[in-house]
Amino acid sequence: MMWKNLHNDMLQWRGTLEPHIRGLVQSTSAQAFNLLGIIAGSIIAGSYDVFNKYAWALLIFPGLLSNRGAIGGLFSGRLSTGLHLGTVLPRMRDNTEDAYQLFSSVISLTALSAFLLFIGGSVFSVISYGSGLKELYLIFKVVFSTLALSILVITPTTFLVSIQAYTRGLDPDMVVYPITSTTADVSISFIYVVVLRLITLKHWAVNLGLLFVITLFIAGALWIHLKNRGRREYDKTLKEFICTLIVVTIIVTLTGYLLGRISSQIGDTAEIYFIYPAMIDTVGDVGSIIGSTATTKLGLGYFAAEYSSIRAHMSEITYAWSGSLFLFTVYAVISGFTYGFSNFWRLIAVVWGTNLIVIPLITAISFGVGIITFKRGLDPDNFVIPFETSLADSLTTLVLFLMILLWFR
């Protein structure tokens, strides 16, 4: 009898723990794709010469990551919720009208974000570095070319990952954005550095090629907008997201300024640049996991649209935070193996301090924005991930800057 009771207790204990273990593994595994963000970091760390050549290059880099990440967050969040609700079908062809309008809105918003980022980057570049018309023209070419080329990689990747996650029984809210955001960061970093190196050649063929890409991008976005204007889902997405995009652009331009300050403090200390994209990506992923799972639960009626409902969401928060702290440690270790361990303990202090301060803030913001937008009858997927990812980039950069001042001065 005793052994039978013990056996039953063990089965009950296993049944209680199993969902938590599965959630932790799924969350950490999805965030583990941020290890590829180190590729983005190595691209930046290995391209310090071109960032020195153009003073504005570091200023607009976080904006490219964040604006593209904000639109990717909108796309992945809407896809995840749509797959759950059946408004998007898990297939490439013959999809729903909502799915096609979502694709169209992503292209239009990318073009709009390029324009806003060009304006914001130009203003800060003039104020910070006294840039003239020649530099502003280069910023225009670099921003529009980078975002135009990024569409060819990031948009199809996001949709394919969403389909694969859903058809394999995984939770798209947990895995889609963490995977695709890392892919986006690596792609953006690579394309950005390639475009920067191309403009240093000052060759007429390069200039003509970039202008062709930009013209095709702008003309295509205008055609898509004119074709879809007046359609419910398209108009709703643009109307709700434009304000978010403007706020995001202001935030990320400030992030670029902070990154420039970090550069002035640490010089060419490669171990920081090496892990920077992975760190901001991970914080954004934590917010996206918490925000996306919360918006899906709100949409399905699993909990009330009250901030106190965060208690019912603590499991997802714990999974995401634990995974992020583990990965921050891994980033520091990999950086140590790559660049040496002379600054390792200071680096550990910097990444742990950054994580322990930023994650609670981004958790509160992600959940709060979801509740507020849902209460006002807006689509939380148009706000939560886009807003929190850009804010995550800025908060992480700010706290990282403060940690560097504390430990590296």
DSSP calls for 222-282: HHHHHHHTT-HHHHHHHHHHHHHHHHHHHHHHHHHHHHHHHHHHHTT-HHHHHHHHHHHHH
- On the CB side of 83, how many CA atoms lie within 13 Å of its CA? 25
* The pLDDT value given to residue 361: 92
Is 11 contained in some domain? no
Residue that has been written with the tokens 């290890």 in this structure: 35
pLDDT at 10: 47
* Residue 266 belongs to a domain: yes
User: What is the structure's pLDDT at 333?
Assistant: 93
DSSP H or E run through 127: helix 97-129
SS3 of residue 203 by DSSP: coil
Q: Is the pTM of this model over 0.85?
A: no
In a domain, 17, yes or no: no
Residue with tokens 């975002």: 147
**What is the predicted pLDDT for the residue at 184?**
82
Domain limits at 180?
30-407
> CB–CB of 83/166 below 8 Å?
yes
DSSP state of 335: H
The predicted pLDDT at position 85 comes to 78
Residues contacting residue 137 through CB under 8 Å, at least 6 positions apart: none
Do the beta carbons of residue 59 and residue 128 sit within 8 Å?
A: yes
Q: Diameter of the chain by CA atoms?
A: 86
Q: Please indicate, yes or no, if residue 67 is contained in any of the structural domains.
A: yes
How far, in Å, CA of 389 to CA of 247, rounded? 12
Per-residue pLDDT, 75: 82
User: Which pLDDT belongs to residue 147?
Assistant: 94
Instruction: Report, in angstroms and rounded to the nearest whole number, the Rg of the chain calculated over CA atoms.
Output: 22
pLDDT (tens digit, 0 to 9) for every residue of the chain, 409 residues total? 544 554 455 445 445 556 656 666 666 666 666 777 788 778 877 777 787 788 788 888 878 887 877 787 778 778 877 887 788 888 877 888 888 888 899 999 999 999 998 998 888 888 877 878 889 999 999 999 999 999 888 888 888 888 888 788 777 766 777 777 778 888 888 999 999 999 888 888 888 999 999 999 999 999 999 999 888 888 888 887 887 788 777 777 777 777 766 666 655 567 777 888 888 888 888 887 887 778 777 777 777 778 777 887 788 888 888 888 988 999 999 988 988 888 888 889 999 999 999 999 998 888 888 788 778 777 766 677 677 777 888 888 888 888 888 877 6
pLDDT given for residue 11 in this prediction: 45
Residue 41 lies inside a defined structural domain of this protein: yes
Q: Vertex 176, ends 171 and 181: CA angle to 5°?
A: 155
Residue 44 lies in a domain: yes
Q: For position 262, what pLDDT does the model report?
A: 67
Mark residue 377 as left, alpha or beta (left: phi above 0; alpha: psi -120 to 50; beta: remaining). left
Q: Is 35 exposed, middle or buried (0-12, 13-18, 19+ CB in 10 A)?
A: middle
Estimate the share of the chain in helix, then strand, then coil, as percent rounded to the nearest 5. Answer: 90, 0, 10
Q: What angle do CA 194, 197, 200 make, to 5 degrees?
A: 150
- Residue 15 forms part of a structural domain: no
Number of domains in the chain: 1
- Return the pLDDT at 45: 73
